[in-house]
A and B are shown apart, each in its own frame.
Chain A
Amino acid sequence: MHRFRKKSNHKDSVNFLEHQRAEFEALFNSIAEGVITTDAEAKINRVNQKALDILGFKREDLIGKWFPKAIEARNDLGNEINVIDRPITKALMTGMPVTGELNYINAKGVPIPIKTTCSPIILENEPVGSIQLFRDISEEKIIEEAKSEFLSITSHQLRTPLTAIRLFTEMILAKQVGPLTHSQHEYLKMIEESTIRMIKLVGMTLNVSRIELNRLKVDTKPLIAEDLIKEIANEVKPLAEEKHVSLHLNLPKKKVSMRLDPMLFHEIMHNLLTNAIRYSSTQEGKVEIGIEHGKDSHTIYVKDNGIGIPQKDEKRIFSRFFRADNAIKTIGEGTGLGLYLVNRIIKETGGKVTFTSKEGYGTTFYVKLPLLGMKSKDGDKGLST
């Protein structure tokens, strides 16, 4: 009796395990994203049906093979991605999940745009393998491309009539087509100002959209921030003089070179400086710009003694189109996009922007950049000037 029972228990266990296994296979192959798992050395041990569908490989082409070689990856420019930069390598090395967008070369040699998250599998504190989820984003990319095209064309279409208005208004104001009454002059000045404001808005909208569509290119070169800051300070000098604001540069004698994208850097500093000037105190406005080179980062600050940011608005100051009430009272027009852009650009390039402020006393913005400077990024467009 005893022996008989043992045998049937064993058979039940085997059936049970078989059933579990079949359930797992069904589950694994019904996941609607591509899933590939590997061992700790990145050798592929499981591939689900969706992964095979996306990449066009047969299971036997991939099982047992080393992932980075079995599935080639290229960036959007067509260059092969180094093994060390692949999500799977980073995941296994850092022990953290890594997300990335790249192109996997399918069985026919065609690059497929992919979004993937690769996580290390940790058992008793040791990485025993990795699990990667990925999906084909070809359609999303087509839509993104269409949006980007649409934006470029729309800005171009908007800018053309705006240019005409600007030019004709300028010529009339310059009395090139006859004298003007006082009222005509005043009205035309307002038309001119509105037109220039619209032109700026078109440009900013284009920039904002590029950042949001993730198409912003960050093109860095080794530069000296102090020199760029001096140039930008010169540019805003006329505005400062007009607003009776004194500019002070607190730049260290020892110049340090770091990687910067000159256009993006200009956009950040120009925005912060013009804000500081425009929202400055009506009496003895003072704006100070400085830079500190630390051991693991650089900090640029822009300090003003102006209207300050009300505490209740601090959380929203970097939001798109947000303008604090005191800002609107001080300057009627303003897009509300300046700080949004500054924040997005700095984040995109690996930095961080913070501020301290007291309403009625002034604000200081701090731009922290990584030690080596801005992080480069492949994209297809730079900033619109």
Chain B
Amino acid sequence: MAKIVLADDDKFIRVAYKDGLTRAGHIIDVAEDGEEAIEVVKKVKPNLVLLDLIMPKLNGFEVLEKLKSDPEVKDIPVVILTNLSKDTDENEAKTKGAVTVLVKSDISLSELVNYIQQLLVKY
């Protein structure tokens, strides 16, 4: 049971992940764009951030950089959830402080739930 912030600019993706992860027992707050993502993370201080890369206002990398340079929230684990290829900037994501990059279309909801479970144990 954890607080998770999900940032994605696609409405259906937000609904799907929010519903699925809520039923898995977590509390989900969503954001539609990069700026909102930062606001919500700072307000909620979640246990985990799920971050899309392609978003309006600020893209995922810019959000990641800002979060990691803010002492209030820099220790919150961030997982990039993208539909670009995994290799696209996986190095960049990890260098900027993300835990990993997951490709949304390639991972089922139950696989994501398991992954989050394992991650939360570590963090």
Q: Is the CB of A381 within 8 A of B87?
A: yes
Residues of B within 8 A of A155 (CB): 83, 85
A202 interface residue per 8 A CB criterion: yes
Question: Which residue from A170, A384, A385 sits with its C-beta under 8 Å from B110?
Answer: A170
Q: With A and B bound together, what is the CA distance between A180 and B21 in angstroms?
A: 21
Q: With A and B bound together, what is the CA distance between A263 and B87 in angstroms?
A: 10
B43 interface residue per 8 A CB criterion: no
Q: Mark B68-85, 1 if CB is under 8 A from A, else 0.
A: 000000000000000111
Q: Is the CB of A160 within 8 A of B83?
A: yes
Q: How far is the CB of A157 from chain B (nearest CB, A)?
A: 8
Q: Is the CB of B13 within 8 A of A160?
A: yes
Residues of A within 8 A of B83 (CB): 155-156, 159-160, 163
**Which stretch of B28-36, B56-64, B99-107, B114-122 is in the interface?**
B99-107
Interface residue SS majority, chain A:
helix
Q: Is the CB of A381 within 8 A of B88?
A: yes
Residues of B within 8 A of A381 (CB): 85, 87-88
Interface residue SS majority, chain B:
helix
Q: Mark A167-178, 1 if CB is under 8 A from B, else 0.
A: 110110010100
Q: Mark A135-157, 1 if CB is under 8 A from B, else 0.
A: 00000000000000000100110
Q: Which residues, 263 to 282 on A, are CB-close (under 8 Å) to B?
A: 263
Most chain A CB within 10 A, of B87, B88, B110, is at B87
A374 interface residue per 8 A CB criterion: no
Residue of B nearest to A206 (CB): B85
A interface bracket (residues with beta carbon within 8 Å of B): 20 to 34
Q: With A and B bound together, what is the CA distance between A319 and B10 in angstroms?
A: 37
A199 interface residue per 8 A CB criterion: yes
Q: How far is the CB of B122 from chain A (nearest CB, A)?
A: 22
Residues of A within 8 A of B12 (CB): 161, 164, 168
B95 interface residue per 8 A CB criterion: no
Q: With A and B bound together, what is the CA distance between A206 and B105 in angstroms?
A: 14
Q: Is the CB of B84 within 8 A of A152?
A: yes
Additional A-B contacts beyond A167-B20, A385-B87 (19; CB < 8 A): A152-B85, A152-B88, A156-B54, A159-B105, A160-B104, A163-B16, A163-B83, A164-B12, A166-B105, A167-B17, A171-B16, A199-B106, A202-B105, A203-B105, A206-B85, A382-B85, A383-B85, A383-B87, A384-B86
**Chain B residues within CB distance 8 Å of chain A:** 10, 12-13, 16-17, 19-20, 23, 54, 83-88, 103-106, 108-110
